Amino acid sequence: MDNTALLRRVLLEQAAHAMCLVCLKTGALLERNRMFDALFPDFTPDIRTFVQADSLKNSWQPMIIKQKNDALFQAKVIFFDQDSQTALVSFRRSGAWEYLAHAATEERLFDSFPAVAFIHDLNGVMLACNKAACEYMRIPRPELLGRNVSDLMPPKAVAALKELLDKSMLTATPINETFSYISDGDSEKTWMGAYIQPLMAADGGAVEAVLIMLRDISEQFLVEQRLATRDRLLQATSQAAQVLLSGGKDFADSMNEVLAILGKATDVDRVYVWSIHPSPNPEINSELHTTQLYEWSLGAEPQQDLDICTNRPVSEAIPTWIDTFMSGRCVNNLVKNMPVLEQEQLSPQGIISIMTAPIIFNGELWGFIGFDDCHSEYIWSELEENILRAAGMIVGAAIHNHRINDALEEANAQLAAAAEIARNLAEEAKQANEAKSDFLANMSHEIRTPMNAIMGILQMVLRMPISPRQAIQHLEKIDFSTKALLRIINDILDFSKIEAGMLDMEKIPFYVEDVIRGVIDLTKHRVEEKGLAMFFEKDPEIQGQYLGDPLRLSQVLTNLCTNATKFTSEGHITVAAKLQEKNDTEATLLFSVTDTGIGISPDQQQRIFSAFTQADTSITRRYGGTGLGLALCKKLTQLMGGDIWCESEADKGSTFSFSIRLGLVNSESRHDAQSRAFEELNVLIVESATTSRSKLYESLHSMGCRMLEKASTIDHALEKAGVADAGRRLI
């Protein structure tokens, strides 16, 4: 072996791969290293055929060794000397992927495989592909191999695929995922199922190429999506029905929940229910009107509180839909494809796609349900449309029933109220009837007593001789009884006159104070007989003349004072009058009669102003009376433009107050003259009871007396009188 040959040999032994030096002219193997012998122990491959076919390709090329069960090796020409036709060739055993690529290209292994399949190296250079790939990339196979994949697929698909590729490369593991893209000029999305398998070198394990299998699953994807949507809608509809049928919740809450369920299931931004109803003002506009009843919204602005959602004529609110609904059809469209009129209404609300379905009961249009999509273009399939229409019917039926129930409940409540009124009226009638019977019994008693007295005295006088003194006493008794009779008869007459609306009130000038003093004078005798004190509290403001009916005022006051005297056994009675309000022509005066008598319980206070009613029968038996007085007072005060009421506590006493309106008279008030007269008067009040003394003091003060003295005992009084001036008068 010469030196050159030795050097060659040493160098070859240094190489990591199996190597040989071959003369292509003769086919003789000039040199081989140990690795070569290890790779091909039993035979020598025909290197010539391989190198001639792919001469000078300085990359690994597949090489099938026929003699070795078609085992696949790879060879690479490292150096070729043209002159001597000598080539230095390196060999290695092929990995599985290379075999795959080879098989795919040479033997059309994948051509029956329907998916797009191709192998590219790490730079994206296409190494092998099947028939489907050629069709997908629309290039014949020979032109396809060696080109870069990124130039062969739609750019959007390349970008989407790259993400998956990177992911797979990073982990060096296969992935099976879907991706989608919209090709330029296409409106539909293409969905692809992608299987990506990184291919490793057999020896080192490093990734050297990638097998990609793609399958257009757009159709299948859409079908699956539609099926999933259908299932979601069916589930939501049944859930909505359950919520509405289970009840127990506030109806508005249930409706909100139901619309939210439908909104989420349909992935829309707004769901709403409108009713279509007769016009609220048929005389102004007789066409059908529409009102939004419920609304759910997520990404969209709610409409519920806007004016445009209540009582709108259909020609204004849903001009083009009403005919569609009337014919039982749905509106299901992209807003951009709708008539301009509708676009103008819907676009400002941000709606991109819309679906509205009529709600029809018994062949009549009741309303509609609507779904606004403000984020995507979507046209509902016929099946989906039908499901949503059914959901609308369920919701509409629930609202309809709820309204009927409400109306029923209201009718029931009205019926119950009417029954209650009827019961009260019956009770009142019964009470009035009982009161009338009591009244008749009392009345006959009240009339018979003085009549019996008169007749008894008359018989006595007629039968036996009497002295003139006795005659006077008898005549006084007769006088008393006839007055009592007359009072009763007058009360009855007045009452029936008022009932018949025939009592005319006088309008004459009078002094209120005169009337009060007259009443006090009239009752004073009986008051004194019972050992009671009587006071008059006068508001200086009531001085002066008024226009009204002094007789009727006197009648009311007398009645109250008589009652106060009748029902009080000790203490005092106070009559008060004050000005409540006044304008240029009228004044409202407030009168009260307070006693320290038996008082009236609260429930009795409710009844005593009704005709023929007395507080209770035991009182009647004890005190007598007809039960007509206060009823008459009530009517008279009302005729005088006011009212009467009572405050009382059992066993403590009562205050009966009444107001009346009187006209004003433009005459000089007597007040000044009277006040002047009293101003000059020196008065010493002698009274042991503190309350009475104070009341007397106040009364005199209100009359104008300014020089007032009080004493509680005679001694005290004499003491004060003793130091009195010569001008002081004792009264």
Question: Locate tokens 């085992």: which residue?
Answer: 71
Q: What is the DSSP letter of 353?
A: E
- Give CA separation, 471 vs 408, 449, 660, in Å: 79, 21, 44
How would you write 201-252 as a 3-class SS string?
A: CCCCCCEEEEEEEEEECHHHHHHHHHHHHHHHHHHHHHHHHHHHHHCCCCHH
The residue (of 197 and 626) whose beta carbon lies closer to ligand ADP is 626
The residue (of 88 and 598) whose beta carbon lies closer to ligand ADP is 598
Residue 54 Cα to chain centre, angstroms: 84
The residue (of 129 and 553) whose beta carbon lies closer to ligand ADP is 553
**Which residue of 105, 168, 592, 614 would you call a contact of ligand ADP, by CB under 6 A?**
614
The residue (of 369 and 560) whose beta carbon lies closer to ligand ADP is 560
Tell the smallest beta-carbon distance from residue 723 to ligand ADP (Å): 42
The residue (of 543 and 563) whose beta carbon lies closer to ligand ADP is 563
**Which residue of 300, 630, 703, 711 would you call a contact of ligand ADP, by CB under 6 A?**
630
Q: CB within 8 A of 407, min separation 6: which ones? A: none
Instruction: Based on the shown chain and the rule CB under 6 A, indicate whether residue 98 belongs to the binding site for ligand ADP.
Output: no
Give kind and range of the element (H or E) at residue 32. strand 29-32
For the beta carbon of residue 161, count every other beta carbon within 10 angstroms. 21
SS3 104: helix
The residue (of 237 and 626) whose beta carbon lies closer to ligand ADP is 626
Tell the smallest beta-carbon distance from residue 563 to ligand ADP (Å): 3
**CA 136/CA 214 separation, integer angstroms:** 10
Tell the smallest beta-carbon distance from residue 414 to ligand ADP (Å): 37
Tell the smallest beta-carbon distance from residue 556 to ligand ADP (Å): 11
The residue (of 495 and 511) whose beta carbon lies closer to ligand ADP is 495
Instruction: Based on the shown chain and the rule CB under 6 A, indicate whether residue 642 belongs to the binding site for ligand ADP.
Output: no
Q: CB within 8 A of 194, min separation 6: which ones? A: 161, 164, 175, 176, 177, 178, 179, 212, 213, 214, 215
Instruction: Based on the shown chain and the rule CB under 6 A, indicate whether residue 626 belongs to the binding site for ligand ADP.
Output: yes
Query: In the window 160-219, what residues touch ligand ADP (CB under 6 A)?
Result: none
The residue (of 571 and 625) whose beta carbon lies closer to ligand ADP is 625
The residue (of 76 and 635) whose beta carbon lies closer to ligand ADP is 635
Binding residue count for ligand ADP, defined by CB under 6 A? 20
Provide the strand spans (E) within 554-694.
Answer: 572-582, 586-595, 643-649, 653-664, 682-686
Give me the numbers of helices (H) and strands (E) for the chain, helices first please: 22, 25
Instruction: Based on the shown chain and the rule CB under 6 A, indicate whether residue 450 belongs to the binding site for ligand ADP.
Output: no
**CA 65/CA 54 separation, integer angstroms:** 15
Tell the smallest beta-carbon distance from residue 428 to ligand ADP (Å): 18
The residue (of 523 and 614) whose beta carbon lies closer to ligand ADP is 614
Tell the smallest beta-carbon distance from residue 631 to ligand ADP (Å): 6
Stretch that binds ligand ADP, among 101-109, 181-189, 502-510, 614-622 (CB under 6 A): 614-622
Stretch that binds ligand ADP, among 274-282, 382-390, 611-619, 693-701 (CB under 6 A): 611-619
Task: Name the amino acid, one letter, at 57.
Answer: K
The residue (of 118 and 567) whose beta carbon lies closer to ligand ADP is 567
Beta-bridged to residue 272, according to DSSP, are 295, 370
The residue (of 62 and 653) whose beta carbon lies closer to ligand ADP is 653
The residue (of 391 and 630) whose beta carbon lies closer to ligand ADP is 630
- Give CA separation, 569 vs 496, 525, 532, 533, in Å: 33, 15, 7, 11
What's the Rg (C-alpha) of the chain? 60
Q: Single out the residue of 599, 592, 590, 591 nearest to residue 571, CA to CA.
A: 599
Q: CB within 8 A of 230, min separation 6: which ones? A: 383, 384, 387
The residue (of 361 and 623) whose beta carbon lies closer to ligand ADP is 623
**Which residue of 262, 391, 587, 615 would you call a contact of ligand ADP, by CB under 6 A?**
615
SS3 291: strand
The residue (of 373 and 595) whose beta carbon lies closer to ligand ADP is 595
**Which residue of 202, 619, 639, 707 would you call a contact of ligand ADP, by CB under 6 A?**
619
Tell the smallest beta-carbon distance from residue 564 to ligand ADP (Å): 5
Beta-bridged to residue 509, according to DSSP, are 547
The residue (of 133 and 630) whose beta carbon lies closer to ligand ADP is 630
CA dihedral (163, 165, 169, 174) in degrees, to 10, reads: 120
Instruction: Based on the shown chain and the rule CB under 6 A, indicate whether residue 519 belongs to the binding site for ligand ADP.
Output: no
Q: Single out the residue of 236, 244, 308 nearest to residue 268, CA to CA.
A: 236
Instruction: Based on the shown chain and the rule CB under 6 A, indicate whether residue 627 belongs to the binding site for ligand ADP.
Output: yes
Tell the smallest beta-carbon distance from residue 527 to ligand ADP (Å): 13
Burial 22-49 (b: 16+ CB within 10 A, else e): bbbeeeeeebbbebbeebbeeeebebbe
The residue (of 491 and 687) whose beta carbon lies closer to ligand ADP is 491
**CA 134/CA 141 separation, integer angstroms:** 6
Binding map of ligand ADP across residues 296-325, x = CB under 6 A, - = no contact? ------------------------------
For the chain, helix, strand, coil in percent to 5 are 50, 25, 25
Identify whether the C-beta of residue 516 lies closer than 8 Å to the C-beta of residue 510.
Answer: no
Query: In the window 544-563, what residues touch ligand ADP (CB under 6 A)?
Result: 563
**Which residue of 317, 351, 561, 600 would you call a contact of ligand ADP, by CB under 6 A?**
600
**CA 483/CA 486 separation, integer angstroms:** 5
CA dihedral (606, 609, 610, 612) in degrees, to 10, reads: 120
The residue (of 358 and 629) whose beta carbon lies closer to ligand ADP is 629
Identify whether the C-beta of residue 278 lies closer than 8 Å to the C-beta of residue 291.
Answer: no
- Give CA separation, 47 vs 11, 54, 84, 164, in Å: 20, 11, 16, 41
Stretch that binds ligand ADP, among 261-269, 279-287, 338-346, 628-636 (CB under 6 A): 628-636
Tell the smallest beta-carbon distance from residue 437 to ligand ADP (Å): 15
**Which residue of 45, 370, 396, 629 would you call a contact of ligand ADP, by CB under 6 A?**
629
Tell the smallest beta-carbon distance from residue 632 to ligand ADP (Å): 8
Instruction: Based on the shown chain and the rule CB under 6 A, indicate whether residue 654 belongs to the binding site for ligand ADP.
Output: yes
Q: What is the DSSP letter of 148?
A: B
Binding map of ligand ADP across residues 560-599, x = CB under 6 A, - = no contact? ---xx--x---------------------------x-xx-
Tell the smallest beta-carbon distance from residue 690 to ligand ADP (Å): 23
Question: Locate tokens 């005593």: which residue?
Answer: 608
Tell the smallest beta-carbon distance from residue 618 to ligand ADP (Å): 9
Tell the smallest beta-carbon distance from residue 653 to ligand ADP (Å): 8
Binding map of ligand ADP across residues 479-518, x = CB under 6 A, - = no contact? ----------------------------------------
Give me 377's structure tokens.
């273009």
Residues contributing to the site for ligand ADP (CB under 6 A) = 563-564, 567, 595, 597-598, 600, 608, 614-615, 619-620, 625-631, 654
